[in-house]
Amino acid sequence: MSSDPTDTFRQEARELLEQLEQGLLDLEQNPQNAELVDSIFRALHTIKGSGAMFGFTDVAAFVHEFETAFDRVRKGLSPVTAELVAIALDAKDHVHTLIEDPAGAVADGEPILQALRALVEPDRFPASPMKVAQADAVPSAAPAESVGVWRIRFRLPSDALLYGTNPVLLLGEIAELGPCQVTALTDAVPTLDSIELEGSYLGWQVDLTHPDPTVALDDVFLFLKDGMDLSIEQLVDAAPTISQLAAEADEAAAVEAVAPFAGAAPVREAETERTDRPAAVVGSSLRVPAERLDELMDRVGELVIAQARLSQLAAQSSDGNLKTIAEELERLSSGLRDTTMGIRMVPIGTLFSRFRRLVHDLSHDLDKQIEFITTGEDTELDKTMIERLADPLVHLIRNAVDHGLEGADSRVKAGKSVKGTVRLSAVYSGAEVSISVSDDGAGLNPVRIRQKAEEQGIITPEQRLTDQELFQLIFAPGFSTAKEVTSLSGRGVGMDVVKRTIDGLRGKIELSTVPGSGATATLRLPLTLAIIEGMLVRVGNGRYSIPLSAVEECVELPASADVARGRSFLDIRGQLVPFLRLREVFGTAGEPDGHQKVVIVSSGEGRVGLVVDQIIGNTQTVIKQLSKLHSGLETFSGATILGDGGVALILDSAHLVSYGQAQEQQLGQQQQIGRAA
């Protein structure tokens, strides 16, 4: 399948624009960080060159002016302010529009550039982008005696062409500095029988009329200077006449006219140190459609099931060769499974970083000071799941900022800091992932929620609901507690989207609040990977799989546990751990046929023991989703096919832990009532 080069450019440009956005947001918090300014400038320079290479001339022209303005910041001529960052973010958005929709309105970028120039260069406000380049190239106010002729000689690194560097584009940038005469140096060009197609043999001599081009040339050769030969010297000849300047200006214009059509520029690979890097690194990463990874995961899942059948047959056979082959296949399929799963796993930090811009813009739109804190960025999720979580998290964060955080006056009256806090966190909770969005605002108001629900006919005044049931009404279609409809909220569609999306992922949403101190929305997402390591156990005649990542340890069920009246606790090294008899939970008839075992599982900070009849062993578990008919069975998160063709249900350890904790609390209340009686 052939790939469109413009699609490759768009993908790389998206990554560069995301880096640019994160750099600008970091710069607003740390305006004195020169490394951030340099990284922003490099991203702009690369987008400009790549845009020209792939024919995105509007992108290259706009980013050139963007880069020119930001170059003054890099040189310390203009300070970094919140207003500058805001306009630069608008410029970044316009670049994104130009790349994704080249037929869009290009003129929309001119007001952005004018505002950007007014900030970084208020004394010189040119009427058009071209005048900026001309003003920089030939300073009209400079005295005639300060203009001299400089001879520039340079040879590019031997691998420059291999990494996409185009000498014609570099010469075009030099021509923008002033009138010049360009001569090719061919003394190092070898004979045809020894020439290498990707080698760089030509050198260049440029006689440039300019007061002092040293600093400007540093920008031209920003990514090449360490590996190239470059010399700059001022000629002792007298200053050129006006006719000479005019003639050389014509030559410079000719070179400049060729530059936009040169067709190549330093691309992303040229940004890194290249002189010491072997050519084998080129192409070390590969873009693959997500559909192919899905198909690969399905094939690996079927392979794991077939391997389990082979292992079971080998265990029942006395053929040593068959056992050896089964063990080897098990090792290979396990490694293939881990590799395939690792390909799809992405740190959730790639998703969290997108919301910094959202909070930044909401802070300005609502005139609220907000501190955005993220934790657990290293938590990994499947790429498909991360993509589907983007919209729900956007709505939850907007809701926390708009509805949760109070205005500055209200926060001061409540004794809080003027700056509100929104916290986004992710953590592994046993075999599931919990993502929380919390704020330190006023919290949820059950009375107001009930009032609005009754007004909108969602519930009747006679219905009796707990606070948790009332909070779930927030996710009802059309429900909103906003007093008026704004551009941010009030139509009651956002939280409905959250609920439907999380339900589609077989997840759950929990809301908690502390009046006056804030609210927290927690997304609990079940296992979505196709294959996991599981512990196979037996309860009665049924077999069940427990996700191995949730298992802490296994112990014998002590005989004293049967005698202790009313107690459902085990003493595990001085700590009381509640336990559940799965025979009672599943309604299994009969008595256990042997010594029962206790599997200690965890979820977050909670632990519970699961009493089973037998621990069969560890297996590679291929998760199969339950049908809609069984979707209400919260005790199970899926099913798997065993090697003998049988089916084992996968236990939802998080639900069982919650069930055990509820039993523990109920027992404590009963004991208090007994003591009071």
Q: Does residue 168 register a pLDDT over 90? A: no
Answer yes or no: is 654 within a domain: yes
Distance between CA 441 and CA 514 in Å, rounded?
9
Query: 125 versus 414: which is more confidently predicted?
Result: 414
Per-residue DSSP letter, 285: S
For the cut 60, the answer to whether the pLDDT of residue 138 exceeds it is no
- Mean per-residue pLDDT over the chain, rounded: 77
- State residue 284's pLDDT score: 54
DSSP state of 195: -
Shared domain for 508 and 366, answered yes or no, is yes
Mark whether 133 and 117 lie in a shared domain. yes
In a domain, 505, yes or no: yes
- For residue 2, the model assigns a pLDDT of 45
> Among 319, 346, 373, where does a domain finish?
346
Which of 20-29, 48-57, 560-569 is the least confident region? Answer: 560-569
Residue 399 has pLDDT above 60, yes or no: yes
Does residue 372 sit within a domain? yes
Q: pLDDT confidence of 468, banded at 50, 70, 90?
A: confident
Asked whether residue 71 carries a pLDDT value surpassing 50, the answer given is: yes
Which residue, of 525, 557, 590, is where some domain finishes?
A: 525
Q: Specify whether 635 is located in the same domain as 595.
A: yes
Exposure of 410 in the CB half-sphere (CA atoms within 13 A): 13
593 vs 613: CA distance, rounded Å? 7
pLDDT (mean) for 422-432: 81
Residue 333 shares a structural domain with residue 382: no
Judged against a pLDDT cut of 50, whether residue 74 lies above it is answered with yes
Q: How many Cβ atoms from other residues are within 10 Å of residue 318's Cβ? A: 7
Number of H helices, E strands in the chain: 21, 21
What CATH number corresponds to the domain at position 256?
3.30.70
- pLDDT (tens digit per residue) in 145-157: 457 888 999 888 8
Quickly state the pLDDT bin for 476 (edges 50, 70, 90): confident
Tens of pLDDT, residue by residue over 213-249, are 887 887 788 767 667 888 888 886 544 443 444 444 4
Residue 101 lies in a domain: yes
Distance (Å) of CA 425 to CA 23, 190, 525, 529, 602: 21, 60, 14, 21, 19
Residue 291 lies in a domain: no
pLDDT digits (tens, 9 = 90+) for 340-378: 877 877 888 888 888 888 898 888 888 898 999 999 888
* Residue 270 confidence (pLDDT): 36
Within this chain, do residues 414 and 355 fall inside the same structural domain, yes or no? yes
pLDDT of residue 520: 92
State which of 525, 551, 576 marks the end of a domain: 525
Distance CA 171, CA 259 (A): 8
* Claim to verify: residue 391 and residue 311 sit in the same structural domain: no
The total number of structural domains that make up the chain? 5
597-603 sheet: strands from edge to edge: 551-556, 597-603, 606-612, 575-581, 569-572
Examine the pLDDT at 272 and tell me if it is beyond 50: no
pLDDT at 322: 92
| Residue 554 sits in the same domain as residue 664 | yes
Contact yes or no for 375/426 (Cβ under 8 A): yes
Q: Which residues lie across from 148 on neighbouring strands? A: 210
Q: What is the mean pLDDT of residues 277-290?
A: 54
Average pLDDT value for residue range 163-184: 83
pLDDT in tens, 561-599: 644 444 578 888 888 888 888 888 888 887 877 788 999
Where in the sequence is the domain holding 535, given as residue range(s)?
531-676
Strand partners, 433: 428, 525
Residue 506 has pLDDT above 70, yes or no: no
We report the CATH number of the domain holding residue 401 as: 3.30.565.10
Of the segments 52-56, 386-390, 602-606, which one has the largest average pLDDT value?
386-390
Looking at residues 253-257, what average pLDDT do you find?
42
Going by C-alpha positions, the residue among 378, 386, 374, 390 that lies closest to residue 422 is: 374
Q: What is the mean pLDDT of residues 254-267?
A: 39
State residue 253's pLDDT score.
43
Beta bridge partners of 521: 437, 511
Instruction: Out of 253-257, 370-374, 503-507, 619-623, give the one with best mean pLDDT.
Output: 370-374
Q: What is the mean pLDDT of residues 477-496?
A: 58
Amino acid at 407: G
Is the pTM value of this prediction over 0.85?
no
Query: Under 8 Å CB-to-CB from 52, ≥6 apart: which residues?
Result: 60, 169, 260, 262, 265
Same domain, 85 and 178: no
Q: Does residue 394 register a pLDDT over 50? A: yes
Q: Residue 295 falls within a domain, yes or no?
A: no
22 domain residue, yes or no = yes
How far apart are alpha carbons 486 and 629 in whole angstroms? 40
Please check the confidence at residue 252 and state whether its pLDDT lies above 50: no
In a shared domain, residues 645 and 506: no
Same structural domain, 369 and 331? no
Instruction: Read off the pLDDT band of 669 (50, 70, 90).
Output: low
- Integer Cα distance of 566 and 666 in angstroms: 11
Contact 70, 41 (CB under 8 A): yes
Give the CATH number, domain containing residue 589: 2.30.30.40
What CATH code is carried by the domain that includes residue 75? Answer: 1.20.120.160
Q: Which amino acid is at 66?
A: F
In the structure, what pLDDT confidence band is assigned to residue 455 with cuts at 50, 70 and 90? Answer: confident
Q: Per the domain annotation, does 97 fall within a domain?
A: yes
Q: Same structural domain for residues 149 and 269?
A: yes
DSSP string, 312-365: HHHHH---HHHHHHHHHHHHHHHHHHHHHHHHHEEETHHHHTTHHHHHHHHHHH
* Whether 89 and 169 share a structural domain: no
